[in-house]
Amino acid sequence: MPFRVVARAARGYPGRMNAHDERGTTMTGVDPGRLDDQQLMKELETIHRTRHDTLLYGSNDALRAHNERMAQLEGEYLRRNPRRPVAPGRTREGARERTGSDSATPTASGT
């Protein structure tokens, strides 16, 4: 009996990839430099939320476009926020010193 590959929908994500199917198109979106801070954050939240599905179920072209767009958006965020708060637990030294009760999220004061 010959081996047969059966295409199936992604488990737990029926029809989900239709939103990411970018075959034959180039995804560019709005230049991140033209977005206001609120729009930029919304774009970043969206692209991070869709990352896992794109990695697991997207075509190579979709993943490439996703990588490029994510780099554009993250680069703009970093350009605008060079002094963003960094949680001590998210550094190499902090990770080595971290205990089970420490948080990796910065506080309002940035410490």
CA dihedral sign of residues 36, 42, 47, 48: positive
Query: What is the tens place of the pLDDT at every residue in 90-100?
Result: 888 888 887 65
- How is residue 52 annotated by DSSP? H
pTM score: 0.62
Tell me, yes or no, whether 94 lies in a domain. Answer: no
**Per-residue pLDDT, 93:** 86
Tell me, yes or no, whether 42 lies in a domain. Answer: yes
AA identity, residue 55: L
Residues counted in the chain:
111
**Per-residue pLDDT, 42:** 97
pLDDT reading at 67 higher than 90? yes
Range of the domain at 60: 33-82
The token pair that represents 57 in the structure block: 């179920």
Domain count, the chain: 1
Tell me, yes or no, whether 57 lies in a domain. Answer: yes
Report the candidate in 28, 39, 26, 16 with the shortest Cα–Cα distance to residue 70: 28
Taking the CA atoms of residue 57, residue 60, residue 64 and residue 65 in that order, the dihedral angle to the nearest 10 degrees is: -70
**Per-residue pLDDT, 77:** 98
Tell me, yes or no, whether 53 lies in a domain. Answer: yes
Tell me, yes or no, whether 100 lies in a domain. Answer: no
Query: What is the tens place of the pLDDT at every residue in 8-58?
Result: 334 444 444 444 444 444 556 899 999 999 999 999 999 999 999 999 999
